[in-house]
Amino acid sequence: MRALIRLRRRLPLLLTARSSSSSSSEPHEIPTVYSFLQPSIFAPRPRPQPPPPPPPPAHDTAPRKTLPVADAEALESSLLTAVSEGRSDNAWLAFKSLAASSRAPSPHAAAALVSHLAGAAGAHHRLGLKRAFAAAVFLLEKSPHAAPVPEPALGALFSALAAAGSTAPALALARAMLRCGRLLPAFSVWGHPLIEITRDDAGAFAAFLNVFDEACKLVVEEKAPAEAAAMRPDLAACNAVLAGCCRRLGSMADAERILETMSAVGVSPDLESFGSLAFLYAWRGVSNRVDELNTLLDALGFSKKGFFKNLISGYLKSSSFELVSLFILRAVKEHRVGDGNGFDVDTYREVSQCFVDHARIRELAQLIIQAQEIELTQQPMSVEESVGFGIVNACVELGLLDKAHSILDEMTAQGASVGLAVYSSILKAYCKEQKTAEAAQLVAEISAAGLQLDAGSYDALIDASMTAHDFQSAFALFKDMREARLPELRSSYLTIMTGLTENNRPGLMASFLDSVVDDPRIEIATHDWNSIIHAFCKVGRLEDARRTYRRMLFLRFEPNNQTYLSLINGYVSAEKYFNVLILWTEVRRKGTDFNHELIDAFLYALVKGGFFDMAMQVIDKAQEFKIFIDKWRYKQAFMETHKKLKVAKLRKRNFRKMEALIAFKNWAGLNT
């Protein structure tokens, strides 16, 4: 903390020294070029070129031909028309004519030109960028207007340069913008694209730092508060710059200078800022700065979220494996692993990958053993929150399953008790890859160790068994889950039922459901029975479907419309219309919430079966519930099945059926 205070006091001297030194030596320095005859500004340069010799004085003093106002206005109008019509070459020629006659276009025309050229597409994109860059630099240095290139146009040009990967021209444009003596545009217009384009190149980022320093100096010197606020970089930008100093350059001097600059321009650091500093101090092995930062966070009342994570990343950067283990264990002791303030999946992946790359399997095993000992003394935590699970699971997700098992073997060789957290991730990986033999062996090892699998591990095993069509193993595993008194069974139950449904095994579905129906942890409902009834009907096992329906009623599960529809469709497919009649009698007596689909199914089946008296009962029920019936469908069903049925013959055999037939034909319009 004292170091940070000392650095803050040095800010005025530092900014002055930085501004004077930036003119003498700047990486990636590009001469300011706005000549229309030098588009090679975008070409890569293998070595720095000396600046061109100054032109003779006579050239500077030679008067330029000045266009009359009317001609200048006509040229500007031509420029705007060419831009609106997409004629880039004509717009460029109009601009060159204006520039050659010492007539700068208005800010409106300049914005239109620069935006148009920066957004040129296809084969003209690179030429358009060169022209937009040259025009912008010329206007910044020569135009008499206060804002010669409005901010939206500048933003479009910087974004286009960043998208094209043109780092050197983007930096040159920023320098021209800073040195033109005008009010600095908002930082978001130019600073964010520059950060994005330079963050992955150490040399380019160092050059950007010079630009950033100059811009912040202008912010500090600005007297008008509103103007200074508009020019100021925001916290996200400052954090990005600070992260570049810490993570890309690894420069403590640059990082702490940026922190001072943030204070000078009125931007307060946050957790992300201190996280970058933690990474840097760990990387450079400056333990006293780590302690100062830790004390500062406590003094400011900041959460330690991300502090240990960044320290671990920094120590991994310097291959300080002992310190990595030390701080992971410290985080465990301070309860910062599973409380949202510690390590995430990315941290565990980084740790695991780095240790494995340096053949540190033994150290990883020792770290897990020591972490387990601490975790046993703390409040109960879930398997996923433990360090062992985090490391082993990271190995699995990185495709290092063999290394994960090597950690397990190393722990066993050291005589340590392997926690369930270590087993769990490997077991799930075996299940995912359907290595059922390896999974079974690991389950035996877990049981031998006196450990109890969690619900997630059981579910993974059951899913693997169902995928391999090993249904009996899945049933046995589910039985073990029930006997282990695990509270969560629903997920595994659904895994089994879904697998059996997909494989058309209604018999196994029925027997499995019957074995678990009394278990309150599963919460069997009507739709579970419907699934079995539907599956039986689908494969034509109608007697089993009827038996399941009776079993459902016996256990006091209430059937619904879907139950009846499955049975009706099954009976119709087998042309067992009498079974539909029996079902109708039962449903009519019990009552149900009839809908159009159920009325239609019953009526169609009863008409096909020739049970017209029952069909008329369905029609009456439809009228009672105000359900519309399409008579044409039932006319067609009658004509397909009973076209030759004679009323006179039926009258002699069964007068009641004759009456029902006549009533149906009258209703359907078959007597006309």
Q: What average pLDDT does the segment 385-395 reach?
A: 89
At residue 629, the 3 state secondary structure works out as coil
Q: Where do the domains of the chain lie? A: 584-672
Q: For residue 20, is pLDDT > 80?
A: no
CA distances from 280 to 106, 237, 254, 311, 449 (A): 48, 18, 11, 8, 43
Per-residue confidence at 116, pLDDT binned at 50, 70, 90? very high
Least confident stretch, 59-63, 127-131, 495-499: 59-63
Distance (Å, whole) CA 267 – CA 356: 41
Model pLDDT for residues 521-578, shown as the tens digit of each residue: 888 899 999 999 999 999 899 999 999 999 999 998 999 999 999 999 999 999 898 9
Tell the residue number behind the tokens 């831009």, with chain if given: 83
Say if residues 532 and 502 touch (Cβ distance below 8 Å): no
Model pLDDT for residues 22-40, shown as the tens digit of each residue: 333 344 443 334 343 344 3
Q: What average pLDDT does the segment 33-58 reach?
A: 46
Consecutive H or E run containing 436:
helix 436-448
Distance (Å, whole) CA 72 – CA 135: 17
Residue 1 has what pLDDT?
42
Say if residues 519 and 482 touch (Cβ distance below 8 Å): yes
In degrees, to the nearest 5, what angle opens at C-alpha 506 toward C-alphas 503 and 511?
Answer: 120
Mean pLDDT: which of 147-161, 373-387, 423-437, 606-620 is highest? 147-161
Share of the chain above pLDDT 70, in %: 86
Per-residue confidence at 141, pLDDT binned at 50, 70, 90? confident
Mean pLDDT: which of 23-32, 63-72, 131-140, 477-486 is highest? 131-140
Least confident stretch, 66-70, 149-153, 224-228: 66-70
Distance (Å, whole) CA 553 – CA 547: 10
DSSP secondary structure letter of residue 249: I
- Residue 366 CB neighbour total at 10 angstroms: 16
Please classify residue 623 by burial: count the beta carbons closer than 10 Å to its beta carbon, then call 0-12 exposed, 13-18 middle and 19+ buried.
exposed
**Residue from 618, 659, 624 nearest 637 by CA:** 618
Model pLDDT for residues 300-316, shown as the tens digit of each residue: 888 777 888 999 999 99
DSSP 3-state percent helix, strand, coil across the chain (nearest 5):
70, 0, 30
Say if residues 580 and 564 touch (Cβ distance below 8 Å): no
Residue 596 has what pLDDT?
87
Share of the chain above pLDDT 90, in %: 44
Computed on alpha carbons and rounded to an integer, the radius of gyration of the chain in Å comes to 40
Terminal C-alpha separation, the chain: 102
Entry pTM: 0.64
